[in-house]
Structure 1
Amino acid sequence: MTCPHCGASVYENDVKCPYCDSFLENRNADNTRRPVSGPGQFTMNGPDQVNVALVIVSLLIPIFGIIYGAISLGGGHQKSGKVYLILGLAGIFVFPCFMGIIPMTFAFLGFAQ
């Protein structure tokens, strides 16, 4: 195999070129090229599907939705990452308003003392 960056001859299974220190591309079983993750990079495994339990948690605990949404976006799950991030941001505004309405409703109906 030849390094696409410097043209040096490298082994087929090498991840980095020993000469120019750049990351190489590997081939999958179907002989398609894919980039190799570098240090500090990751990809999330599994399909990019929205989980209902995580949607509920993202609304009830907004910081979880924001953090998990950012992790999902960084890991390559664009669809679910956007959903969790948006719901986490919405949860910051919706949940406190909702929690303020419940006590006011009980006070208005005379249940609270």
Structure 2
Amino acid sequence: MTCPHCGASVYENDVKCPYCDSFLETGNNAYTRRPVGGPGQFTMNGPDQVNAALVVVSILIPIFGVIFGAISLGGGHPKSGKVYLILGLAAIFVFPCLMFVIPLCFALFAEIFKAFQ
């Protein structure tokens, strides 16, 4: 059979895809997974797909990206969880750097422009 998330060939009895680490929705194991730990753990139902709206929110409000990523990873959706987490962390570190570098570049170009006049 093929994984519905990444298209890789997997065995019929596999619960998780060995390539994309997503849960497989086949016959006996479709959404019947239960948490191994205590009552505080959970699993998310549905396919492991990245939501475009959550991607935008993860970039614009990075702390939500980190939170969505942690929830998705903990709920058994590694593909979407990794995307939200990486985007949230990148937005936390990249945007402040850009807010410093862009004005610095404008100031540098203004000084160079003045030197040639």
TM-score computed with the length of structure 2 as normaliser:
0.55
Q: Deviation of residue 105 (structure 1)?
A: 6.0
1:52 paired residue number? 52
Aligned partners of 2:89, 2:41: CA distance in 1, in Å? 25
Aligned to 1:36: 34
Matched ranges for 1:1-113 at <5 A: 32=28, 34-37=32-35, 38-104=38-104
The alpha carbon displacement at 1:73 in A equals 0.4
Say which structure is richer in strand.
Answer: 1
SS in 1 for 2:72: helix
- 1:77/1:102 CA distance change after superposition, 3 Å: same
The Cα shift of 1:92 comes to 1.1
Partners of 1:64 and 1:35 in 2: how far apart? 26
Unaligned 5+ runs, structure 1: 1-29
Greater shift, 41-50 or 79-88, is seen at 41-50
Give yes or no for contact 2:59–2:91 (8 Å, CA) kept in 1.
Answer: yes
Alpha carbons of 1:80 and 1:35: their partners in 2 closer, same or farther (altered >3 Å)?
closer
* Partner residue in 2 for 1:11: none
**Which TM-score applies when normalising by structure 1?**
0.56
**Deviation digits for residues 62-98 of structure 1, max 9, x if unmatched?**
1111111000001111100011011111111111122
**Higher helix content, 1 or 2:** 2
* Distance in 1 (alpha carbons) for counterparts of 2:34 and 2:57: 33
Paired positions, count: 80
- Over the matched positions of the two proteins, sequence identity in percent amounts to 75
